[in-house]
Structure 1
Amino acid sequence: MTVQPWQQAPLVALDLEGTGAQDREQEAILEVAVVPLHDGHPDLPCAFATLVNPGRGVPRRPWISPGINDQTLSTAPPFDRIATDLAERIDSRWIVGHNVGVDWRLLRRYLPDVRPAGLLDTLALARAVGLDSGRALTALVDQAGLDGALHVALPTGQPHRALWDATAAAFLLTWLVGRYWPKRDPTLNDLRAIAGIDLAPPAEQPSLF
């Protein structure tokens, strides 16, 4: 129901950390986090986050956090062990993410039967607001002054880890909504019109990079 206030919609913030798009069809998921939103705020006690054992060695790459390496991944569950739980947390909900089409393509490759209600992209909303921090989530968090709230919510969290990035996207969504609609609370349909991304098959979903 898209005419409901956006805060009442079933929203979950999602982030995946992977080996990188240059691996093409062999890109592996290394970490995943799903953070439900309650009244427009991240519900961290109900969040789900885990490293994922890709079943192969992971080369060091600049975008992979130092905390994600062969040693830490060796004791993590393989994706098939978390797939059912992950799908249950996403099905029929609106996925919020930063440049969410990239995460959606990778998720859909591993969970082809997952059925979210739709996708909401904080990057698209930031561009609609007219922010000039480029594409980086960390730059937008800094511009929005959300660093303190994130530190309180995740005292040991760090950027480029799935739980931090998903939580940051949740905080950023609420801040951006307030910037784009300063005098009223939009409906989910309003938000979808500005930040919605089509649930296209992975090969058809354009990358913003």
Structure 2
Amino acid sequence: MDFGTWPRLLVVDVEGNGQTPPDLVELAIIPVEHGRPVPEAGRATLIRPPHPITPFATRVHHITNQDVQQAPRWEQIAAAVQTDLTGCWIAAHNASVDYGVLKRHLPEWKPAGVLDTLRLARATYSDAPRHGLDALIEHTRLDLSTVQGRRHRAGYDAHATALLLLDLAAHYPTWDALTAGAVPAGMPGAPAPDHEDQTLW
């Protein structure tokens, strides 16, 4: 894989407050440049949601209402986040979730494309017993010793997902081959249907 052929790519992860639909309580954006994650060039921030964080959500990501009491509200950072994401590909594990939450918060934003490492891992490691992020970290024996934070926090999960993406990318010869397996149907970046192959009217 020639990483020099990759467009600008950002790995994203969001954490929510447990409400339906969820409000953001944490967001991480990590660029992948020249075949490596660059967390210091990204963004990781807590966000004060308009509705309280539920006890169930806190049990998952360990973010409490007190933790976000002094954090910026979404309206204060939305423009900057949209600037960060504009014109870029994004990647996430089970990307429809992260993309859906971001799209709801940034209705005017559309990424260049969306890579789903869950979809890609199912195609690449079909023999893996499970394809959740924890199971894939174990299956691929990813070295997370330099990753800051803890599991289920946005910065940690985005960094781990970036490393997983690079592990998966090693199985594909080109960017086009990678995206063919990684972009969910109907998502930005998916190939357009070949209408020439449609012979029924």
TM-score, normalised with respect to structure 2: 0.85
Question: Cα distance 1:159–1:51, how it changes in 2: closer, same or farther (>3 A)?
Answer: same
Per residue, is there more helix in 1 or in 2? 1
Aligned to 2:9: 11
Q: Give the deviation of 1:135 after TM superposition.
A: 3.5
Of 122, 140, 144, which aligns to 2:117? 122
Question: Cα distance 1:107–1:36, how it changes in 2: closer, same or farther (>3 A)?
Answer: same
Q: Give the deviation of 1:6 after TM superposition.
A: 6.8
Which structure 1 segments of 5+ residues have no match? 201-209
Question: Secondary structure at the residue paired with 2:26?
Answer: strand
Q: How many residues end up aligned between the 2 structures?
A: 184
Of 174, 179, 192, which aligns to 1:192? 179
> What is the distance in 2 between the residues matched to 1:101 and 1:131?
23
Instruction: Answer yes or no: is 1:60 the counterpart of 2:55.
Output: yes
Letter in 2 for 1:190: A
Instruction: Answer yes or no: is 1:100 the counterpart of 2:95.
Output: yes
The structure with higher relative contact order (CA 8 Å, sep 6+) is 1
Aligned to 1:207: none
Aligned to 2:164: 172
Aligned to 2:72: 77
Alignment RMSD: 1.8
Q: Give the deviation of 1:151 after TM superposition.
A: 2.1
> What is the distance in 2 between the residues matched to 1:131 and 1:88?
39
Which structure 2 segments of 5+ residues have no match? 189-201
After superposition, where does 1:150-161 map in structure 2 within 5 Å? 150-154=144-148, 157-161=149-153
Q: Give the deviation of 1:5 after TM superposition.
A: 5.2
> What is the distance in 2 between the residues matched to 1:108 and 1:6?
28
Contact 2:89 2:114 in 1 (8 A): yes
